[in-house]
Amino acid sequence: MWSEGPISGSPDGRPGRPLSPGPTTPARHRRLYLDTSAYLCILLAEDGWERLSEDTAGAELLSSVLLVLEARRNLIRLAREAALRPEQYKTCMDRVEEDTNVFVLRDLTLDLCQSNILPAIATPRSLDLAHLRTALWFHAAERVERFVTMDASQKQAARELGLPV
C-alpha cells in the first residue's frame, strides 16, 4: 500500500514517508481529490513528492477510476522508454493495484460525460475534465478540502470551477 513510499528516484533510494496514517497517527477526516499527476508524483518520487506525501497523510483519498487507467498507461510508457527498469515497472504496477484499495474511486459515468460544467476560461483536455467533474461530484456530496494536481493548467481550471486547490 501507500506506506511503502515512492518506488524510484528518491535521493537515497529508500522509501519516503507513508501516505496512510501510521499506528500512532490519528486519522483526520480530510478529503483530498488526487488527479493522476499527483499520484504519479508520489509513486515515482518526482519533485515535490515528499510534500505531497505529508499533505495526504491521514486523509481520505478520492479520485476517478481514470487514475488507474492513466497511471498504468504512464508506467507502460516509461518502461518502453527505458525510464523504468523491469523490476521498478513490476513494483510500480503492483503498487497501483494495491493503492486502488486505498482510494475512494468514482466510475466515469454518462452523467459526468453529459454534464455542461466547464471552467469559465480554461478548456481542459477530456480526461482532465473528467477528473474535474468527478471532484465536483465528490465536493457536492461532502466538502473536498483540496483538489491536488501537479499540472498548472489543471489547477487553474479547478480554481475556475470553485474547487479548493
Residue 6's pLDDT is: 55
pLDDT tens digits in sequence order for the chain, 165 residues long: 444 455 444 333 433 333 454 444 455 589 999 999 999 999 999 999 999 999 999 999 999 999 999 999 999 999 999 999 999 999 999 999 999 999 999 999 999 999 999 999 999 999 999 999 999 999 999 999 999 999 999 999 999 999 999
Buried b (16+ CB within 10 A) or exposed e, 77-115: ebbeeeebeeebbebbbebbeebeebbebbebeeebeee
- DSSP helix/strand/coil, 60: strand
Residue 5's pLDDT is: 54
Domain ranges of the chain: 29-66+102-160
Record the pTM: 0.84
Q: Is 45 left (phi over 0), alpha (psi -120 to 50) or beta?
A: left
Phi, psi of 146 (to 5 degrees): -160, 140
Q: Is the dihedral of CA 117, 119, 120, 126 positive or negative?
A: negative
Residue 44's pLDDT is: 97
* In contact, 150 and 48? CB cutoff 8 Å: yes
Residue 12's pLDDT is: 37
- Give CA–CA dist 157/40, Å, rounded: 20
